[in-house]
Amino acid sequence: MKLYDVELASRLLLGSARYPSPAILADAVRASATEVVTVSLRREAGTQRSGQDFWSLIRGLGVRVLPNTAGCHSAKEAVTTAKMARDIFHTAWIKLEVIGDADTLQPDVFGLVEAAAELAADGFEVFPYTTEDLVVADRLLQAGCRVLMPWGAPIGSGRGLNNGFGLRALRAHFPDVPLIVDAGIGRPSHAVQAMELGVDGVLLNTAVAMAGDPVAMAGAFARAVEAGRAGFEAQPMEPRDLAVPSTPVAGTAWLA
């Protein structure tokens, strides 16, 4: 998979939040075989400098980072946060989130397009967290995005793909644009479904971090993403309503 001219062997992108411990986060990243880990920026609480320790751990994993603008509710906030992220993480990549609804964490797609245009013009390589809306997707591409990240379901909900039809339509409309399903994936089977639709990759966090065994789940998702992609490339059969015997009828014994 190629994202902004970067060739990646793994189609799984992994979040770094909500793990039981830094050691489990590190083991999960290794087990997932991901090459891209999402990170964020926050005020550092107290004098413990936990952010510095976290950054040291991530750098030690040898992965690419994809900073996000989580928590931003306006284009202005998101643009400023993106610039601050570039200053720390030294990458042009930014996972652009502009949240429009507190309950569903649904993107504010109007603010998203506005921020994407400003950031792309400033040299950022924008990964917009968006809905499956085709018109919004088109506006994001016009704004300079070269990757789209439609949600599967609300962030952290683990509901899977709420709108498979919408994702299929998005794939069909933009066959050459990398699509990453971001958010809502709860189980490896959801990742398989997304990949079988023909999306290029999956970004998830909570499904691994909050699993009973995050490291084992990271491995399970790695295999699920590979299986779903292999299934898509193998061109699955079309479903039909009536049964068709798989064993040849010709030569059946007359035993009645």
Partner 1 sequence: MHIRVNGVSHDLQVARLAQALEVLGYRQAAVATAVNGVFVPAGAREELLLADGDALEILAPMQGG
Residues that bind partner 1 (CB under 8 A): 15-19, 25, 38-44, 47, 49, 51-52, 54-55, 58, 67-68, 70, 80, 83-85, 87-89, 155-156, 205-206
Instruction: Give catalytic residues, as residue numbers.
Output: 95
Q: How far apart are CA 119 and CA 226, in angstroms?
A: 32
* CB-nearer residue toward partner 1: 147 or 196: 147
Closer Cβ to partner 1, 171 or 222, answer by number: 222
Residue closer to partner 1, measured from CB, 41 or 222: 41
Q: Can you read off the two tokens belonging to residue 177?
A: 């644009």
Among 88, 39, 95, 87, residue whose Cα is nearest residue 63: 39
Residues 6+ apart with CB under 8 A from 165: none
- Residue 47: exposure state from Cβ atoms within 10 A (0-12, 13-18, ≥19): exposed
- Measured from the CB atom, the residue of 72 and 196 that comes closer to partner 1 is 72
CA count, 13 A, side-chain hemisphere, 186: 11
Minimum separation from the CB atom of position 13 to partner 1 (A) = 10
Contact 149, 112 (CB under 8 A): no
Does an H or E element contain 64, and which?
Answer: strand 64-67
Run of H or E including 201: strand 201-204
